[in-house]
Amino acid sequence: MKPKFWVLLGLLLLACLPGFWWRPHQEAVVRAQYRSELDPIILVPGSSATQNRFNALVKELNHETNTTHSLLRVEVMTDGTLKYSGTLAAGDDHPFIVVGFQDRHDGYANIVKQAKWFTIAFKKLQATYHFNHFSAMGHSNGGLVLTLFMENDLAATQTHADKLMTIAAPFNLEEADPDVDTPMFKLLEAGRQRLPKNLVVYSIAGSKTFTGDGIVPFDSVNRGKYLFQDQVKGFTQITVTGANANHADLPENQQIVGLMRQDILP
């Protein structure tokens, strides 16, 4: 009897093995496919700008849409703590969240530090509000911060980036010579294969002069094509001209407000 018992027990265990394997596999599939109702739009300002940088933009977008989106502003301190202002309204599935930095200085080294500070803020926001996908917009160096985050730290958060809009992002900093690669561009280029494959990217350049927006050269913005093309699901490059096409005014440019309403808002 004993040998027969052990044979039957062994056969039973073998029959159960597919189930033991399938359950965690199925749970992983469900987690990967599940999309939270909360789908924030995260905004990152450029150097020298505070977390209040996009107040006018959000007001204008809310004026032009049928749904009013709430606004939460976060300032990341140099010690990694966060200061909040504003709020996320109950029932608002598409709020704006602005992430700014206490240290707002320009320069390669500080932009890299800001990308790490952004990661700290992102993880805390995710833990608090339990979203697993989002869209984002970055103006000027804010576009670099978001790109660095998506290359280096996004995957570990198990969160999906749906859409990214960069406005006058200086992917090659202020370098106007197309034959010169700055350390920033080299860093971004080295990490481009880690960009999310399902990401849709819109890169916008302003045209105040024939060579740029008054601060960022066209060539620097146009370097985005070497980072995103063939790495993400979609990449569109747009040049905005006319009124308010200089670097500082671009977030309030009516053409860009329209593009955000069309391409970033749900």
Instruction: Please provide the average confidence, as pLDDT, over all residues in the chain.
Output: 91
Least confident span in 34-38, 62-66, 144-148: 62-66
**Whether the predicted pLDDT of 51 surpasses 80:** yes
Q: Which letter, b or e, does each residue of 162-191 get, where b requires 16 or more Cβ atoms within 10 Å of its Cβ?
A: bbbbbbbbbbbbebeeeeeebebbebbbee
* Reported confidence tier of residue 183, pLDDT bands at 50, 70, 90: very high
- Other CB atoms within 10 A of residue 110 CB: 16
Predicted local distance difference test score (pLDDT) of residue 20: 56
More confident residue, 14 or 158: 158
Least confident span in 29-38, 124-133, 209-218: 29-38
- The model's pTM is 0.87
For 207-218, what is the mean pLDDT? 88
**Whether the predicted pLDDT of 15 surpasses 80:** no
Least confident span in 23-37, 104-118, 238-252: 23-37
* Reported confidence tier of residue 8, pLDDT bands at 50, 70, 90: low
Give SS3 for 40: coil
Contact status, residue 168 vs residue 221, Cβ threshold 8 Å: yes
- Domain-by-domain residue ranges, the chain? 38-263
**Sheet hosting strand 41-44, strand order edge to edge:** 82-86, 71-76, 96-101, 41-44, 133-139, 160-167, 200-206, 234-240
* Reported confidence tier of residue 50, pLDDT bands at 50, 70, 90: very high
Q: Around 28, how many Cα atoms within 13 Å sit in the side-chain half-sphere? A: 5
- The DSSP symbol for 29 reads H
CATH 3.40.50.300 is the classification of domain 38-263: no
* Reported confidence tier of residue 19, pLDDT bands at 50, 70, 90: low
- The DSSP symbol for 249 reads G
Q: List phi, psi (to 5°) of 259.
A: -65, -40
Q: Hey, what's the torsion of the CAs at 169, 227, 144, 156, to 10 degrees? A: 150
